C-alpha cells in the first residue's frame, strides 16, 4: 500500500510540473490550462537524422474542449508538438525532423505517431507566427562522450504558436487533417495468439504462485517467437525471443514473470528513469517504467497476494506492454 501511495504522489507531482500555463487570448493558443504527464526526447544520433519524442498526457478523452475558442485538447496537443519541433530544429540544426509518439491516459492509449519535419515546423511557425514563450520540461535521453546512456530533465523556454481570433478554426481544421503515420509493422501492430496451453504445461506443478499468462501479444503473423521457460516454487519467468534458436540481445522480445516476496517498485539501480502509477484491467493498480540504453525496455508491474508480476517488452510502447498485462489479468489465474 505504501508503494501505491508513493507512486501516486510522484505521478501527481509530474502532472503538475508539466502543466501548460494559461495564456492570454491574443498572445498564443488561447488555451486553458492543459496538463502534460511527460515529454521525453530520445536525443540519439540516427542514420536518417530523425529523432524520436514521446508526448504523454493524462487525459483519456482528448476530444473534449480545451478552451472557449472551440479547440479540442487534441488540437492543443498537436500544436505543442509543432512548437517543440520548431524550437529543437532551430536549436540543434542537425535533425531532419521528429517522430512523435502521442499517448493518452498516461500512456495507456496509443493516439498514433506523427512525423514533423523541420521544414514543416518552420512553415507552420511562419504561417501562424509565434507568441509568448512558455517553460516546457523535457526528459532528454542521450549518450555521454564515453558512450554511456544518460538522462537529464531540462527546461526550455519555447515560443507558442499564435493561434488566436480568426486562426482558431484554421488550426482546428489543420490538426484534424494532419494524419498519424502508418505503423511500419502493420496497422496498429497486429496481435497474435500467445501459446497459453504449451507454456502453462511447462510451468504447471513447478510453482506455488498463481500463474497469469496473456492470450495475445503485439506481433504480426509473420513474426515468430521462441521461448525459454523457467519455474520454481517461488515464481516463474517466460523469456521470449524473435527467431527460432536465437538468444542474442538483438533477438530479445520480452519477458513474463512472477516472483514471490519481490518489492513492488522499479529496480533501485534505475532511480532516474521514468516510472508512474497506472490502472490495469479490473481496477488493478500497477506501475509502468522504462529504461533506455542501446534500446529501451518498457515494464509493467502489479502485485497480488504477495506476488510481484512483471511484463517487459523491448522497444515496446506503454500501450503495448499494458495490453499484454491486461490480457493476462482478464484471462485470470491459470
pLDDT in tens, 138-172: 999 888 888 777 888 899 999 999 987 778 999 99
Among 177, 203, 225, which residue terminates a domain?
177
Give the confidence band of 188 by pLDDT, cuts at 50, 70, 90: very low
Distance separating alpha carbons of residues 207 and 109, to the nearest angstrom: 34
pLDDT in tens, 82-104: 999 999 999 988 779 999 999 99
- 200 is a domain residue: yes
Q: Do 48 and 172 belong to one domain? A: yes
Phi, psi dihedral angles at 204 (to 5 degrees): -55, 130
Half-sphere exposure of 35 (CA within 13 A, CB side): 16
Distance separating alpha carbons of residues 149 and 294, to the nearest angstrom: 8
- 127 is a domain residue: yes
Residues in the chain: 334
Give the confidence band of 23 by pLDDT, cuts at 50, 70, 90: very low
Distance separating alpha carbons of residues 217 and 140, to the nearest angstrom: 29
Q: Do 58 and 99 belong to one domain? A: yes
> Residue 122's pLDDT is what?
96
> Residue 26's pLDDT is what?
39
Give the confidence band of 219 by pLDDT, cuts at 50, 70, 90: confident
Q: Which residues pair with 100 in a beta bridge?
A: 53, 114
Specify whether the CB–CB gap between 234 and 260 falls below 8 A: yes
Q: Do 156 and 8 belong to one domain? A: yes
Give the confidence band of 32 by pLDDT, cuts at 50, 70, 90: very low
Q: Do 209 and 74 belong to one domain? A: no
> Residue 148's pLDDT is what?
77
Distance separating alpha carbons of residues 118 and 89, to the nearest angstrom: 6
Q: What is the DSSP string of 222-251?
A: T--EEEEEEEETTEEEEEEEESTT--SGGG
pLDDT in tens, 13-22: 333 333 333 3
Q: Do 57 and 129 belong to one domain? A: yes
Q: Do 107 and 50 belong to one domain? A: yes
Distance separating alpha carbons of residues 246 and 176, to the nearest angstrom: 44
CATH number, position 243: 3.40.1000
Q: Do 171 and 231 belong to one domain? A: no
> Residue 25's pLDDT is what?
38
| Rounded mean pLDDT, 124-135 | 93
Q: Do 136 and 71 belong to one domain? A: yes
Extract the runs of DSSP E, i.e. beta strands, from the chain.
Answer: 38-42, 50-56, 97-104, 109-117, 130-143, 149-161, 192-193, 216-217, 225-232, 235-242, 252-260, 274-279, 285-292, 296-304, 307-314
Q: 122 vs 50, 97, 129, 194, 273, CA distance in Å?
A: 16, 11, 10, 45, 32
User: Which of 317, 277, 322, 255 minimizes the C-alpha distance to 111?
Assistant: 317
Q: Do 270 and 172 belong to one domain? A: no
| Rounded mean pLDDT, 268-279 | 66
Domain that holds residue 209: 192-331
| Rounded mean pLDDT, 201-207 | 94
| Rounded mean pLDDT, 7-11 | 37
Q: 195 vs 87, 173, 316, CA distance in Å?
A: 47, 45, 20
Q: Do 136 and 14 belong to one domain? A: yes
Q: 25: exposed, middle or buried (C-beta count within 10 Å: 0-12, 13-18, 19+)? A: middle
303 or 142, higher pLDDT: 303
> Residue 44's pLDDT is what?
84
Among 177, 204, 226, which residue terminates a domain?
177
> Residue 273's pLDDT is what?
58
Lowest model confidence (mean pLDDT) among 26-35, 158-167, 191-200: 26-35
| Predicted model pTM | 0.70
Percent of the chain's residues with pLDDT above 90: 51
> Residue 31's pLDDT is what?
42
Decide if pLDDT at 272 tops 60: no
> What is the average pLDDT value for the chain, to the nearest integer?
83
Distance separating alpha carbons of residues 72 and 221, to the nearest angstrom: 37
Task: Report CA Rg, the chain.
Answer: 21
Phi, psi dihedral angles at 150 (to 5 degrees): -145, 170
Among 145, 177, 209, which residue terminates a domain?
177
Specify whether the CB–CB gap between 139 and 274 falls below 8 A: yes
Distance separating alpha carbons of residues 97 and 88, to the nearest angstrom: 9
Half-sphere exposure of 70 (CA within 13 A, CB side): 11
The total domain count for the chain is: 2
| Rounded mean pLDDT, 289-309 | 88
143 or 238, higher pLDDT: 238
| Rounded mean pLDDT, 256-280 | 75
Give the confidence band of 2 by pLDDT, cuts at 50, 70, 90: very low
Amino acid at each position: 500500500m505504501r508503494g501505491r501511495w508513493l507512486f501516486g504522489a510522484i505521478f501527481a507531482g509530474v502532472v503538475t510540473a508539466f502543466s501548460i500555463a494559461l495564456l492570454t487570448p491574443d498572445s498564443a493558443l488561447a488555451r486553458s490550462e492543459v496538463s502534460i504527464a511527460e515529454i521525453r526526447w530520445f536525443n540519439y544520433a540516427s542514420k536518417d537524422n530523425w529523432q524520436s519524442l514521446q508526448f504523454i498526457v493524462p487525459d483519456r478523452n482528448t476530444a473534449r474542449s480545451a478552451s472557449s475558442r472551440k479547440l479540442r485538447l487534441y488540437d492543443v496537443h498537436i500544436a505543442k508538438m509543432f512548437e517543440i519541433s520548431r524550437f529543437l530544429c532551430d536549436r540543434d540544426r542537425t535533425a531532419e525532423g521528429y517522430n512523435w509518439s502521442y499517448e493518452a491516459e498516461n500512456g495507456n492509449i496509443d493516439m498514433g505517431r506523427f512525423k514533423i519535419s523541420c521544414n514543416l515546423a518552420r512553415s507552420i511557425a511562419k504561417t501562424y507566427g509565434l507568441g509568448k514563450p512558455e517553460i516546457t520540461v523535457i526528459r532528454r535521453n542521450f549518450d555521454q562522450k564515453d558512450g554511456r546512456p544518460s538522462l537529464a530533465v531540462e527546461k526550455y523556454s519555447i515560443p507558442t504558436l499564435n493561434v488566436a481570433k480568426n486562426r482558431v478554426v484554421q488550426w482546428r481544421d489543420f490538426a484534424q487533417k494532419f494524419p498519424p503515420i502508418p505503423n511500419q509493422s502493420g496497422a496498429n501492430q497486429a496481435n497474435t495468439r500467445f501459446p497459453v496451453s504449451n507454456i502453462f504445461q511447462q510451468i504447471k506443478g513447478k510453482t506455488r504462485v498463481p500463474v497469469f499468462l496473456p492470450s495475445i501479444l503485439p506481433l504480426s503473423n509473420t513474426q515468430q517467437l521462441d521461448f525459454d521457460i523457467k519455474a520454481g516454487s517461488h515464481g516463474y519467468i517466460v523469456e521470449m525471443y524473435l527467431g527460432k534458436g536465437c538468444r542474442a540481445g538483438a533477438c530479445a522480445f520480452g519477458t513474463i514473470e512472477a516472483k514471490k516476496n519481490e518489492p513492488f517498485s522499479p529496480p533501485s539501480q534505475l532511480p532516474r528513469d521514468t516510472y508512474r502509477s497506472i490502472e490495469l484491467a479490473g481496477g488493478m493498480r500497477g506501475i509502468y517504467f522504462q529504461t533506455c540504453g542501446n534500446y529501451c525496455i518498457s515494464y509493467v508491474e502489479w502485485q497480488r497476494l504477495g506476488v510481484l508480476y512483471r511484463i517487459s517488452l523491448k522497444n515496446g510502447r506503454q500501450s503495448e506492454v499494458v495490453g499484454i498485462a491486461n490480457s493476462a489479468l482478464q484471462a485470470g489465474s491459470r
